[in-house]
Amino acid sequence: MTATAMKKEMDTVSVENSKTWQKVCNKADLVEFSGVAAWLDNVEPPAQVAIFYLPGHGNELYALDHHDPFSNANVIARGIVGDLKGAPVVASPIYKQHFRLEDGQCLEDEDVKLRTWKVEFKGDEVWIEG
């Protein structure tokens, strides 16, 4: 996707859903095949997101809630990334439930789903739609 095309899509999305894209960090802040946490301030209330970077796999970037609903602690970015039953997942570092990176679905409990955000590289910058 070219930068212009992306800008156009971003504009469309922001108009339709009152969502805007924001830069959260640089590529160098990410850890390959693992996660980091970032604040997302332009949502209400402000959210902590976990951003995972899987070079060469699917979307490469994934963003979901940093908050772990099972332990009530903000730790998801510190979980181990892997793939289970054909989809990339992260395992909570506290009680080890798995969440699908694509859609936040918990594999152990179908009623639990983390929020997800669109996340993209823009050059060397990491942008999230929030």
Partner 1 sequence: MSTQQQLIIIGNGMVGHHLVEQLVDNGALERYQVTVFGEERHRAYDRVHLSEYFSGRDAESLALCDADYYTTSGVTLRTGEAVIEIDRDQQEVVTDQGRYPYDKLVLATGSYPFVPPIPGNDRDGCLVYRTLDDLDDIRAAAENATNGVVVGGGLLGLEAANALRGLNLDTAVVEFAGRLMPMQVDNEGGELLREKIEALGVQVLTERATQRIEDGDASRHRMVFQDDKVLETDLIVFSAGIRPRDQLARDCDLEIGERGGVVVDDQCRTSDPAILAIGEVALWNQSIFGLVAPGYQMAKAALATLTDGDTRFSGADMSTKLKLLGVDVGSIGDAHGNQNPGARMFRYLDPLTQVYRKMVVSSDGKKLLGAMLVGDNSAYDTLLQYYSNGIELPEEPASLILPQSSGAAPALGPGALPETATICSCHNVSKGDICATIDDGAVDLAGVKGATKASTGCGGCTALLKSVVDHELEARGVEVDKSICEHFAHTRQGLYDIVRVEGIKTFSELIDKHGNPETHRLGCDICKPAVASILASCFNEPITDAAHVPLQDTNDTFMANMQKNGTYSVVPRVAGGEITPDKLIVLGEVAKKYGLYSKVTGGQRIDLFGARLEDLPDIWGELIEAGFETGHAYGKSLRTVKSCVGSTWCRYGVQDSVGMAIQLENRYKGLRSPHKIKFGVSGCTRECAEAQSKDIGIIATENGWNLYVCGNGGMRPRHAELFATDLDDEQLYRTIDRFLMFYVRTADRLQRTSVWRENLEGGLDYLKEVVLEDSLGIGDELERQMQTVIDNYQCEWADAISDPEKLKRFRSFVNDERPDPSIIMTSERGQLRPA
Exactly one of 13, 19, 43, 57 binds partner 1 (CB under 8 A); which one? Answer: 57
Give the interface segment with partner 1, choosing from 1-9, 10-18, 94-102, 115-123 (CB under 8 A): 94-102
Sign of the C-alpha dihedral, residues 74, 112, 103, 41?
negative
Query: According to the binding rule CB under 8 A, does residue 61 interact with partner 1?
Result: no
* Residue 69 touching partner 1 (CB under 8 A): no
Task: Assess 9 for contact with partner 1 (CB under 8 A).
Answer: no
Pair 99, 106: CB distance under 8 Å: yes
Contact of 65 with 43, CB cutoff 8 Å: no
Contact (CB, 8 A) for 89 and 96: no
107 near partner 1, rule: CB under 8 A? no
Reported as type and span, the H/E element at residue 9 is helix 3-17
Q: How far is the CB of 101 from partner 1 (least distance, A)?
A: 10
> Could you tell me which stretch among 2-10, 11-19, 46-54, 117-125 binds partner 1 (CB under 8 A)?
46-54
Distance of alpha carbon 79 from alpha carbon 47, whole angstroms: 18
Tokens of 34: 């693992």
* Shortest Å, Cβ 19 to partner 1: 18
Q: Which of 100, 112, 109 is nearest to 50 (CA)?
A: 100
- Residues contributing to the site for partner 1 (CB under 8 A): 24-25, 29-34, 36-39, 48, 51, 54, 57, 71, 73-75, 78-86, 88-89, 91, 93-94, 96, 98
